[in-house]
């Protein structure tokens, strides 16, 4: 076994912040931000002072004494940015991300819904859904809530579809409790020219069966695990990734339909098949964006949370990649240290001076343990070897683990 050369942790290559669910896992569909604008990440223990016991006799002489050790209650975490970032501030500290909704992504049309009485876990009831457009720079305002009634004692499903803006990466779906729309899925933007050209005869496709379809035209890449609908009531799930150069895709029939027929040049319509597997709430509410029509940028500002509120109770995870320096340069073997703070809650922005200097952006909260962070937003943390369960931990790693600067949605999983 090779021994890694010890070194010093100097400089930071990148930071990454991810929204969490109430349970502490990385929120499906929520945005993960990797940035190089971080200046400093501070980790400070907050201690409960141990008992200091002294007993004296009548002559003021010490006859017994003991000192208990101090206990760590939590860690104070402070993330300092080189410049204000409205999305990062909203992710960490709550509040409202101000966006030019109408001039950029816009509010989409209301989603269409359809209930079925099989293949799901939803009990009979009324469910509500909202959709918003998102892209690499942010998210537009969500639609008004559309409700759908399901019948039957158990086993119902709801199919939800929308029409995204052409420039959007996709749409985020919020539901299912009435009046409490929380993020449950993302629906990719398929574009308008996705089509299959292989005919599958009616009744030839059984529920849960996987088949390979030939692809005629793809204008946008589609991740595995996406749902789409074709003629009739048939819903399918992609089991393989579809790129713009793809000629085939493996899909699975996920609902029972009266007739399952795919004809030549059949256009696929993106949707989500809500079987009830993603539990509500997941901790990320539908965006309360403010329409500032006429401005050009998607994210144009940030508004602080209201007084008297506790912002961002679900928290975020924060990761950092520092260099491992040996003899004045990054080491040749695993040159980075990957730091993970799996849950930081109750963050707020520290005092900010507007003067003849750079306005400071320091966000402070408390770091605690998190047994549900797992392998992180990209599935790359070696949780089977080192569980990121404590308030902070680090391991050595290579360059392949260091993220590029990006705004990446985490694809929802049921």
Q: What is the DSSP string of 68-105?
A: PPPEEEEEEEEEEESS--HHHHHHHH-SEEEE-TTTTT
What pTM, to 2 d.p., does this model score?
Answer: 0.57
91: nearest Cα among 36, 30, 140, 40: 30
106 compared with 369, residue with greater pLDDT: 369
Q: How confident is the model at residue 254 (pLDDT cuts 50, 70, 90)?
A: confident
Task: Please give the Cα distance from 83 to 37 (Å, whole number).
Answer: 7
Reduced to 3 states (helix: H, G, I; strand: E, B; else coil), residue 268 is coil
ω into 321 cis (within 30 of 0)? no
* pLDDT for residue 330: 87
Q: Residue 79: CA atoms inside 13 Å, Cβ hemisphere, count?
A: 32
- Confidence (pLDDT) at 286: 55
> Which of 112-121, 221-230, 373-382 has maximum average pLDDT?
373-382
Structure confidence at residue 413 (pLDDT):
32
pLDDT digits (tens, 9 = 90+) for 29-72: 667 888 888 899 999 999 999 999 999 999 999 999 999 999 99
Rounded to whole angstroms, the Cα distance separating 270 from 136 reads 19
Which residues have C-beta within 8 Å of that of residue 357, sequence separation ≥ 6?
Answer: none
Q: Which residue has the tokens 């408390």?
A: 366
pLDDT at 297 over 70: no
pLDDT at 212: 79
Average pLDDT over residues 159-184: 80
- DSSP-derived 3-state class of residue 161: strand
> 249: which 2 tokens?
């895709």
Rg, C-alpha atoms of the chain: 25
- What is the domain partition of the chain in residue ranges? 8-95+304-409, 99-190+276-291, 195-267
Pairing relation of β-strands 96-99 and 336-349? unpaired
362-398 pLDDT, tens digit each? 999 999 999 999 888 888 898 777 788 999 999 999 8
Question: For position 125, what pLDDT does the model report?
Answer: 86
């Amino acid at each position: 076994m090779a021994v890694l050369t010890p070194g010093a942790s100097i400089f930071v290559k990148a930071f990454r912040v991810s929204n969490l669910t109430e349970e502490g896992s990385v929120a499906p569909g929520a945005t993960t931000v990797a940035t190089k604008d971080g200046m400093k990440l501070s980790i400070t223990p907050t201690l409960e002072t141990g008992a200091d016991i002294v007993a004296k006799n009548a002559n003021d002489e010490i006859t017994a004494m003991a000192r208990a050790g101090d206990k760590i209650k939590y860690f104070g975490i402070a993330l300092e940015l080189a410049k204000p970032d409205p999305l990062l501030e909203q992710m960490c500290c709550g509040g409202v991300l101000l966006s030019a909704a109408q001039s950029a992504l816009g509010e989409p049309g209301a989603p269409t819904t359809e209930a079925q009485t099989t293949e799901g876990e939803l009990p009979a009831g009324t469910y509500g859904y909202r959709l918003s457009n998102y892209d690499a720079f942010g998210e537009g305002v969500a639609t008004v809530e559309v409700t759908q009634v399901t019948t039957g004692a158990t086993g119902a499903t709801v199919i939800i579809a929308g029409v995204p803006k052409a420039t959007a990466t996709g749409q985020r779906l919020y539901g299912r409790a009435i009046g409490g729309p929380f993020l449950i899925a993302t629906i990719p933007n398929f574009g308008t020219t996705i089509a299959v050209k292989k005919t599958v005869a009616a009744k030839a496709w059984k529920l849960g069966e996987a088949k390979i379809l030939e692809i005629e035209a793809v204008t946008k890449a589609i991740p595995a695990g996406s749902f789409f609908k074709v003629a009739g009531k048939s819903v399918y799930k992609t089991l393989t990734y579809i790129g713009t150069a793809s000629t085939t895709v493996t899909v699975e029939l996920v609902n029972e339909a009266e007739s399952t027929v795919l004809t030549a040049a059949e256009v696929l319509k993106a949707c989500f098949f809500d079987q009830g597997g993603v539990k509500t709430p997941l901790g990320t509410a539908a965006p309360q964006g403010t329409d500032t029509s006429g401005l050009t940028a998607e994210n144009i500002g940030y508004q602080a949370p209201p007084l008297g509120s506790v912002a961002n109770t679900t928290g975020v995870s924060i990761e950092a990649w520092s260099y491992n320096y040996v003899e004045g340069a990054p080491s040749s073997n695993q040159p980075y240290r990957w730091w993970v703070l799996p849950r930081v809650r109750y963050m707020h922005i520290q005092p900010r001076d507007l003067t003849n200097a750079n306005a400071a952006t320091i966000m402070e909260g408390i770091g605690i343990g998190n047994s549900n962070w797992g392998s992180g937003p990209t599935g790359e943390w070696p949780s089977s070897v080192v569980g990121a369960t404590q308030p902070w931990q680090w391991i050595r790693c290579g360059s392949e683990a260091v993220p590029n600067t990006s705004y990446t949605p985490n694809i929802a999983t049921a």
